[in-house]
Structure 1
Amino acid sequence: MDKFLITGLGNPGSLYEKTKHNLGFLILDQIAKKHFFSFSKKKLGFISEFSFQKKLIFFLKPSTFVNHSGQSVKYWMIKEKIFLKNVLIISDDIYLNFGSFRLRGKGSSGGHNGLKSIEKEIGTSHYARLRFGIKKNHLNKKLDDYVLENWKNEEINCLFSKLDIGVKIVFSFVTNGLQKTMNLFNNNF
């Protein structure tokens, strides 16, 4: 049975629950809600196993905080013997327009400390990443303050409709692979 590791980046704890930087956690929570599963606290993260079309998916929310996400990703890849081609990282992206998605099989961290940590720990930037746009509209705020700020009321309705697209992208990645999923979803949302 093929194994997949789908990791949503975010910070643990109620203080960060509704922040822009917790986009990865939000998408995994949306998947859990739709498929009626929950996460258990395990080593270096909150994890859930889910069987889907003869594939075993490990959904991971690292407990290491965003800046050290690579420790958790590396641990679970090794523990569950998951091939790099079956790893997908979900993160926010300050440079993409709000609500847009971009799926890539490699690339730079774009200044995202979670992606930098993953690249450092696994030794490559060749891993699939799904980025959700949270483009900064408030130029008077520091980047750290902006990504750790809660979603605004006017963003919430749009946000949750967009999360459903993220869920579709995740399951397409598992069933169709990276290239086909990029062809289906990039530039369409």
Structure 2
Amino acid sequence: MKFLLAGLGNIGNEYDATRHNIGFDVVDTFVLRHGGTFTLDRHAQVAEIRWKGKVFVVIKPTTYMNLSGKAVKYWLDKEKIPMENLLVIADDLALPLGTIRMRASGSAGGQNGLKNIELLLTSNGYPRLRFGIGSDFPKGRQVDYVLGKWTPSEMPALKDTVMKSVDAIECWATQGIGKAMTEFNK
């Protein structure tokens, strides 16, 4: 069984450790946990992980957040992975830090990477893991907040939630989306 994990973020050192790059951080942790490494390939940094009889093609798109669909569509097609075996990991302003939400499908909810994926896949019927980044910013400062670095006070919750996200990915792949939602959408 083959899966595609797509962690969303922006390439470049200026985006490292920012809230918008949490998708990259989660898939980095997944790949590290399973002893893999990323290499640069078409539209993405890519790692292949074999675990419990499953193959995970893990991507970090190099197309920048707003064009994430280009990389996701390319790798889904190239690897012949069905849409229900795609999991997109993205930041979510509507959820507080420490919260994750897995869904089998749904709206982009204003997240531009998800909007572009929906546009290019012509569907919103793919699983996603939304990682809460909170919304503690003054009116009109959303971009600065999303592209801002995590604060020292956020680090303990951040690390715990990244590990919880990796556990949720493993649950999704081995026990299905229903079980993962029941266990991790708390």
TM-score bracket for the superposition, by shorter chain length: over 0.9
1:172-187 aligned at under 5 Å gives the runs 172-187=171-186
Aligned equivalents of 2:157 and 2:7: distance in 1? 19
* Count of residue correspondences: 186
Structure 2 partner of 1:26: 25
Q: CA RMSD in A?
A: 1.0
1:45 aligned partner, one-letter code: A
What's the secondary structure of 2:165's corresponding residue? Answer: helix
Any stretches of 5+ residues in structure 1 without a counterpart? none
1:74-113 aligned at under 5 Å gives the runs 74-113=73-112
What TM-score do you get using the length of structure 2 for normalisation? Answer: 0.97
- Structure 1 vs Structure 2: percent identity of aligned residues? 39
Any stretches of 5+ residues in structure 2 without a counterpart? none
1:118-129 aligned at under 5 Å gives the runs 118-129=117-128
Aligned equivalents of 1:104 and 1:68: distance in 2? 21
1:4-153 aligned at under 5 Å gives the runs 4-153=3-152
Deviations 1:97-136 (A, max 9, x none): 1110000111111100000000000010111010011111
Deviates more, 1:172-181 or 1:111-120: 172-181
Aligned equivalents of 2:126 and 2:136: distance in 1? 29
1:146 aligned partner, one-letter code: Y
C-alpha contact (below 8 Å) 2:97/2:157 kept by paired residues: no
Aligned equivalents of 1:122 and 1:61: distance in 2? 17
Structure 1 position 140, deviation (Å): 4.0
